[in-house]
Amino acid sequence: MDRIQGQSKAVGVLEAALCSGKLHHAYMFHGPVGVGKYSTAVAFAKVVLCLDQVVDLHGKVHACGHCESCKLFKMVDDATFDGGLKEVNKKGEEEDEGGLKGAHPDLHVVVKELARYSDDANVRNRKLTSIPVQVIQEAVLEKAYHKPAMGKGKVFIIDEAELMNPFGQNALLKTLEEPAPGSVFILVTSSEDRLLPTIKSRCQRIGFVPLDDGVVRRWLEGHETETMRGLDDAMREWLIGFSGGSLGRAGMTIRFGLMAWANDILPRIEGLAQGKADGELGGMMAARVDEFAKGWVDAHKGASKEAANKMGAGLMWGMVSEHARRKMMGNVDVVGVGDLEGGEGVMGPWVKVIEAITEAEDLYRSNVKIDMVCDHLVMKMTQAIYRCEAGG
């Protein structure tokens, strides 16, 4: 787990459990998207399933790196840190009912895309926006009590666990209450509030936090690409801020060219503040979200266009929110201490922009079309920030 960055507290809890030899049967890794929860789950699973664990001079337990289990994890390790394990898992489940073909037979990774390979045709044809109960039945419950292929135990990682509907969560509950010996379940979630209290109460909760800017900056320096070399210092700093402490978001921004969003859209938002009407901005924002979703689906076999649209919309809202926060921070020095009226005048409009984004999120979750949501957001932003620049 030495490769996990910026999560010393979470890693420390897991290392202590390994050292004591008293593992909990179920863990919940909760925290923001892209901060290392999934990578930590895989790294932890490698140590748990190692056939010849090593204890160092500090008493920490490590995977040996040489046993048959660790050798099988090499493919998993190589894929995990670029987000590829889910693709390995999907292909494996399709080709080999015994587990991950070519990967580890006692590591079972459950993702919403497994619905594509369900025995139930109705499940296969659904939109991939949730983890159906049939997937939990096929990928977890039917395998949980089978004898481990390598004799050590089994690890089940349920990614985006909040996407299980109540039926799926209740189906999983009995297995969490009465797990097979040697089984470890890890529920990875960025929205633990969507999990049933009964599920949460049976898991040891381990919190993950946003990474500080220094960690993101060092990560970017270690992943220098042609795209990164073409960025000036201002855009690099924008990228770090937009990442919000998430290496996952930073990597996604680079891979899918989201810096172009900032170059195209943020100046037009500034134009709104200067009183420039922009009837094209909403359509431009919606088009960028759609382009991202298409690119995501092209890059991930079996991925859901609907889920990718939601991801792209979230990135768009995040970009506008980050810009509004930067505007507020930039105005801090303009306002005198105790000048409540002045503070309201320069900060209030950008607060309203963030409120408008929350409203846009609600509209989109209500299945309002993305182009209409974006047009509505632009209207609300124009009302908020033009009044500010115009002096009310």
Q: According to the 3-state scheme, what is the secondary structure of the chain?
A: CCCCCCCHHHHHHHHHHHHHCCCCCEEEEECCCCCCHHHHHHHHHHHHHCCCCEECCCCCEECCCCCHHHHHHHHHHHHHCCCCHHHHHHHHHHHCCCCCCCCCCCEEEECHHHHHHCCCHHHHCCCCCCECHHHHHHHHHCCCCCCCCCCCCEEEEECCHHHECHHHHHHHHHHHHCCCCCEEEEEEECCHHHCCHHHHHCCEEEECCCCCHHHHHHHHHHCCCHHHHCCCHHHHHHHHHHHCCCHHHHHHHHHCCCHHHHHHHHHHHHHHHCCCCCCCHHHHHHHHHHHHHHHHHHHCCCCCHHHHHHHHHHHHHHHHHHHHHHHHHHCHHHCCCCCHHHHHHHHHHHHHHHHHHHHHHHHHHCCCCHHHHHHHHHHHHHHHHHHHHCCC
- Look at residues 207, 239, 266 and tell me which one is the last residue of a structural domain: 207
Q: Report the percentage of the chain scoring pLDDT > 70.
A: 86
How many Å apart are CA 80 and CA 37, to the nearest integer?
Answer: 11
118 and 192 fall within a common domain = yes
Given a cut of 90, is residue 190 above it in pLDDT?
A: yes
310 and 377 fall within a common domain = yes
Is 287 among the domain residues? yes
40 and 165 fall within a common domain = yes
* pLDDT band of 77, cuts 50, 70, 90: low
Is 214 among the domain residues? no
Given a cut of 50, is residue 82 above it in pLDDT?
A: no
Per-residue pLDDT reduced to its tens digit, 217-270: 888 887 766 667 777 888 888 899 899 899 888 888 888 888 999 999 999 998
Residue-number span of the structural domain to which 323 is assigned: 256-389
How many Å apart are CA 90 and CA 157, to the nearest integer?
Answer: 13
Q: CB of 250 within 8 A of CB of 223?
A: no
Is 223 among the domain residues? no
Q: Length of the chain, please?
A: 392
Question: What pLDDT score was predicted for residue 305?
Answer: 87
Burial of 112 (0-12, 13-18, 19+ CB in 10 A): buried
Instruction: Supply the pTM of this predicted model.
Output: 0.82
Is 284 among the domain residues? yes
pLDDT (average), residues 55-70: 91
271 and 169 fall within a common domain = no
Is 247 among the domain residues? no
179 and 281 fall within a common domain = no
Round the average pLDDT of the chain to a whole number and report it.
85
Given a cut of 70, is residue 94 above it in pLDDT?
A: no
| Plot region of 53 (φ>0 → left; ψ -120 to 50 → alpha; else → beta) | beta
How many Å apart are CA 336 and CA 41, to the nearest integer?
Answer: 48
Given a cut of 60, is residue 89 above it in pLDDT?
A: no
- Look at residues 172, 207, 242 and tell me which one is the last residue of a structural domain: 207
* pLDDT band of 112, cuts 50, 70, 90: confident
29 and 145 fall within a common domain = yes
Q: The CATH number of the domain where 119 resides is what?
A: 3.40.50.300
Is 375 among the domain residues? yes
Is 216 among the domain residues? no
Q: CB of 277 within 8 A of CB of 392?
A: no
Given a cut of 50, is residue 91 above it in pLDDT?
A: no
The total of structural domains in the chain comes to 2
How many Å apart are CA 377 and CA 374, to the nearest integer?
Answer: 5
Given a cut of 60, is residue 58 above it in pLDDT?
A: yes
15 and 91 fall within a common domain = yes
How many Å apart are CA 59 and CA 392, to the nearest integer?
Answer: 64
31 and 173 fall within a common domain = yes
Question: What pLDDT score was predicted for residue 98?
Answer: 34
Given a cut of 50, is residue 88 above it in pLDDT?
A: no
How many Å apart are CA 123 and CA 117, to the nearest integer?
Answer: 9
177 and 276 fall within a common domain = no
Quote the radius of gyration of the chain (alpha carbons, Å).
23
Cross-strand pairs, 54: 62
pLDDT (average), residues 34-40: 92
318 and 194 fall within a common domain = no
Most distant CA atoms of the chain, gap in Å: 72
* pLDDT band of 120, cuts 50, 70, 90: confident
Residue identified by tokens 């499940």 is 123
- Look at residues 207, 242, 273 and tell me which one is the last residue of a structural domain: 207
324 and 175 fall within a common domain = no
Is 39 among the domain residues? yes
302 and 200 fall within a common domain = no
How many Å apart are CA 265 and CA 110, to the nearest integer?
Answer: 36
